[in-house]
Amino acid sequence: MISRRTHQRRTLPFAVLCALGVFALNLVLPFERVATAAEPVRLTTDGRLKQDPVFARNGADLYYVDQPTAVQLRIVRRSMEDGTTIPVHPEQTKAEYEPTVTADGRFLGYVCSRGNLSLALVLEDTIEKRQATIEPQGGFCGYRSPAFSPDATRMLYSFADGGRQQIWSCNMKAADQKALTDSRGVNNWPHWSPDGRRIAFGSSRDDDFEIYSMNADGSDVRRLTDSPGQDTRPKFSPDGERIAFTSNRDGNYEIYVMNADGTGVARVTRNPERDDYLAWHPDGKRLVLVSERNGRFDLYLVDAPK
């Protein structure tokens, strides 16, 4: 039975908290097809470390994590019309991670550092200028990977539970916390289908990271990938028919797309360095991602397979 308890004091091992996949050398699986597309469109040119892009307001705004200095990570908002980029919290001195934004741009969820490996979950109403926060419980503890439901009534996130890492949800006041998974290993990177009925996520329950999906209440868990590499960060397409994800099955991290049932895997990128941290454009025809080129990290728009 899945627990519905609220959070109690727990500690989060460093390896679990920072579980972002393990680099491993693997071959491209024979059933995968390679997508052909136009040249990527480069959005940034500063080369700084970037993570976790997400669109809002029908693609007018792009939020992502930027690293302006060696010790600061911050959330910025880029206008897709004129390229203007500004910090969301100009006075913030703590590191910010993993933004999630409702479609209308009103609500912003993110992870904020409270200390050494101590991470809080913040839910912000940008119209009413108020915040709700789930504070870390103590020790090396924290929350990861927030994601809003399509109807903006719930937020998913990942949290350590008794030495394991589970997916939870809360309401828009950061209350009513409920556990949705109860498995061994690490469960992370949850993402809702656009109709709110299914959740895609990554899990190490079968010894390496694969992509799974489940009902919004945590039932009917289905494994979607089966590769010798690490499959992580799944994102449903705007029509709900496909899932894009990151995988290192070919030897380094690239972007792939598959049908929502796990069939029809297609490789999107082919880059000798790392491609990661993807998000669908609201038009469903393109993906934004962080691409490493010559040791520099920038945002690119690429065509999604048809």
Domain boundaries, the chain: 26-303
Report the pLDDT value the prediction gives residue 53, as an integer from 0 to 100.
98
Report the pLDDT value the prediction gives residue 139, as an integer from 0 to 100.
60
Place of tokens 């101590």: 118
Cα dihedral 127, 91, 131, 103 in deg (nearest 10) = 50
Return all residues near 5 (Cβ < 8 A) that are at least 6 apart: 179
Report the pLDDT value the prediction gives residue 75, as an integer from 0 to 100.
98
Report the pLDDT value the prediction gives residue 4, as an integer from 0 to 100.
36
- Sheet of 296-303, strands arranged across: 41-42, 296-303, 286-293, 275-280
Q: Which CATH number fits domain 26-303: 1.20.1260.10, 3.40.50.2020, 3.40.50.1820, 2.120.10.30?
A: 2.120.10.30
Report the pLDDT value the prediction gives residue 115, as an integer from 0 to 100.
79
Report the pLDDT value the prediction gives residue 276, as an integer from 0 to 100.
98
Report the pLDDT value the prediction gives residue 140, as an integer from 0 to 100.
60
- List 33's β-bridge partners, or say none: 266
What is the DSSP secondary structure assignment for residue 174, as one 8-state letter? Answer: S
What is the residue-level pLDDT of the chain in tens, covering all 306 positions? 333 334 443 444 433 333 433 333 233 333 455 544 578 999 999 999 999 999 999 999 999 999 999 889 999 999 999 999 999 999 999 999 999 999 999 999 999 998 777 899 999 999 999 999 999 876 666 799 999 999 999 999 999 877 789 999 999 999 999 999 999 999 999 999 999 999 999 999 998 999 999 999 999 999 999 999 999 999 999 999 999 999 999 999 999 999 999 999 999 999 999 999 999 999 999 999 999 999 999 999 999 998
State pTM to two decimals: 0.87
